[in-house]
Structure 1
């Protein structure tokens, strides 16, 4: 080193040595980058496959969701067909058949989590399950059910149709 050169100033000898020292580090970094890039691409492909499979499952679930309900309805249809096939049945026989068919229908609905909302007279009005058609002056507690005009239905605890009711008016 000459007297004029600063100790931190690179010399031709140190310049040549520097790339040789970083070359293994650069190779390691490039190898690691290639590894991470490959892992990223694989993870991205796997996520896309999972999304595609989930979409297919949802599509199948929608397509066949009604299958269980339809199977439960078939005996009801069979009973109705049997009733139609007997035009000579008496009124009592037809009525008995209608009651039996209704029981089958109610049972099929219950198996598929469709339940009646049929509030008793005097039950407190619930706007989440009842729809008030009118308010009438009545004895007893205000805002209670006076008459049920039409039953409502729940499906898996969600209101399918609210019960139509008249409600006692406040005095």
Structure 2
């Protein structure tokens, strides 16, 4: 009976060992499947985060470009306002030279100042509008008719015009032949 009882106990231990081994195998299989599912889920999350990062970098680059464009536009606006004010000084210096009745050292100083101012303006892109090649409505403002000028030709320049980096700063006020 003791042998039978030992045999039953041994059979019971073997059966429990088999069940434990089978449970471990099933647990190992489940764990591998779970790990594969987790890996796939993590890969999808990684792709999503990479896409978000790429989008954030793209948005940052676009913001930098937009800020640079706005900065350039602001700089151009400020330069344009400043140049318009300086052009008024050029007009005043030219009027002073025209009003002078005799050549004095003061008049010569005004001429040199005008020349220096025009040179500085040209360095920064301010150029006088051409009035020798006929009337151009984009660059000239006709304010009257000059009876001595040919048709569509500029007779008298009342006020010089200027461009700033190729853009019209102030049109030349002219009288045109009919």
Does TM, scored on the shorter chain, surpass 0.5?
A: yes
Matching of residue 130 in structure 1 with residue 140 in structure 2: yes
CA distance in 2, matches of 1:135, 1:43: 64
State TM-score, norm by structure 1.
0.59
Unaligned runs of 5+ in 1: 1-19, 74-90
C-alpha offsets along residues 46-89 of structure 1, whole Å, 9 cap, x if unaligned?
234324444554566546975xx89xx9xxxxxxxxxxxxxxxx
Secondary structure in 2 aligned to 1:160?
strand
Count of aligned positions = 127
Unaligned runs of 5+ in 2: 1-29, 87-102
CA distance in 1, matches of 2:177, 2:128: 22
Q: Which runs of 4+ in 1 moved over 3 A?
A: 22-29, 51-66, 136-140
List aligned pairs for 1:84-163, cutoff 5 A.
92-120=104-132, 123-138=133-148, 140=150, 142-163=151-172
Contact 1:118 1:148 in 2 (8 A): no
Larger radius of gyration: 2
CA distance in 1, matches of 2:138, 2:62: 36
Which structure has greater helix proportion?
A: 2
The equivalent of 1:17 in structure 2 is none
CA distance in 2, matches of 1:134, 1:23: 90
* Cα gap change, 1:95 to 1:136, in 2 (>3 Å): closer
State TM-score, norm by structure 2.
0.57
RMSD: 3.5
